[in-house]
Structure 1
Amino acid sequence: MDMNQATVWWLIAGALVAIELATGTFYLLMLAVGAAAAALAAHLGLGLTAQIATAAVVGGAAVVLWHQKRAARDQAAPANANPDVNLDIGQSVQVDHWQPGGRATVKYRGADWQARYQGSDTPVAGRYVIRAVEGSCLLLDH
């Protein structure tokens, strides 16, 4: 049985996906994308060298882009200031009176909370947004 080059590339892509499913190594899925691109290059009639180059460039670029995206996500805000982790971040509270040093006591979720102003100007009574939470202290800003 004689297989054409496109079939071989599709089989390689399928094998990479199967190995990725067994191991959980997402980078193998990116390499499978490169093998699929090489299969498409074979369907277009490009030579073996062009197919290998296509697999290397597309698969390598996919791995690099995935790695960069993952690294950027890992550098996200710390948990105490990340709205994906702490649902209080971004909520607003009413401050009726500020104490010296930019501190206040606010009602939030039915309880009294300590609050601290994070801005550079002098705080005045009004509506503020929770930017972070440190223990039981809300860090507020406009």
Structure 2
Amino acid sequence: MFSGTFYLLMIAIGLAAGGLSALAGLGEAAQFVVAGTTGVLTTYLLRQSRWGRASRPSTQRNPDINLDIGQTLVVHAWNADGRTARADYRGAAWDVELEPGAQPVPGKFIIREVRGSRLVVGNGQ
């Protein structure tokens, strides 16, 4: 709805340009051309701007879709590879993978992403 409001604003700018062309004394056909061209051009420019592009985070990392993201879990020991482990979370054993840059030490971790049945975690604060 928010982005739709901006598109309606662009059409209103086109109509205002048509009104200004009427005040300038242009004919009816010219007013329609000015209003239509301005409306289409401003809508196109809005679409090309950063406000017109919809940025959707991956569903694997979106806490609005997956409520596990941002929750904490405890990893007691890491596997020999230093990047994976098994941890209990919500009453079940999960495969856990360490995100790049995180340290493989036992303790609390924050879930950053869910990939199938694997939790990608980062060091907690």
Do both proteins adopt the same fold according to a TM-score greater than 0.5, normalized to the shorter chain?
yes
With the shorter chain as reference, the TM-score category is 0.5 to 0.7
Q: Does 1:79 align with 2:59?
A: yes
Query: Which residue of 111, 117, 132 maps to 2:98?
Result: 117
Indicate the residue corresponding to 2:109 in structure 1. 128
The structure showing larger relative contact order (alpha-carbon pairs under 8 Å, at least 6 residues apart) is 2
Between Structure 1 and Structure 2, which shows a larger proportion of helix residues? 1
Check the 8 A contact 2:85/2:95 in 1, yes or no: yes
Q: CA-atom RMSD, angstroms?
A: 3.6
- CA shift for structure 1 position 91: 2.1
Deviation at 1:108, TM superposition (A): 1.8
- Number of aligned positions between the proteins: 114
- Name stretches of at least 5 consecutive residues in structure 2 with no aligned partner: none
Q: State the TM-score, normalizing by the size of structure 2.
A: 0.62
**Which residue does the alignment assign to 1:19?**
none
**Residues 70 and 110, structure 2, Cα contact 8 Å, conserved in 1:** yes
In structure 2, C-alpha distance between the alignment counterparts of 1:114 and 1:41, rounded to whole Å = 65
* Alignment pair present for 1:36 and 2:36: no
Alpha-carbon distance in 1 for matches of 2:24, 2:37: 15
**TM-score, length of structure 1 as denominator length:** 0.57
- The one-letter code of the counterpart of 1:140 is V
Letter in 1 for 2:42: A
Contact 1:133 1:139 in 2 (8 A): yes
4+ runs deviating over 6 angstroms? none
Partner amino acid, structure 1, of 2:64: D
Contact in 2 for aligned 1:113/1:138 (Cα 8 Å): yes
Cα displacement string for residues 72-91 of structure 1 (whole angstroms, at most 9, x for unaligned residues): 42xx3332222233222222
Distance, in Å, in 1 between the alignment partners of 2:94 and 2:117 is: 7
1:26-78 residue CA offsets vs partner (Å, 9 max, x unmatched): 9x8466334433366368x44546885565345422343246545442xx333
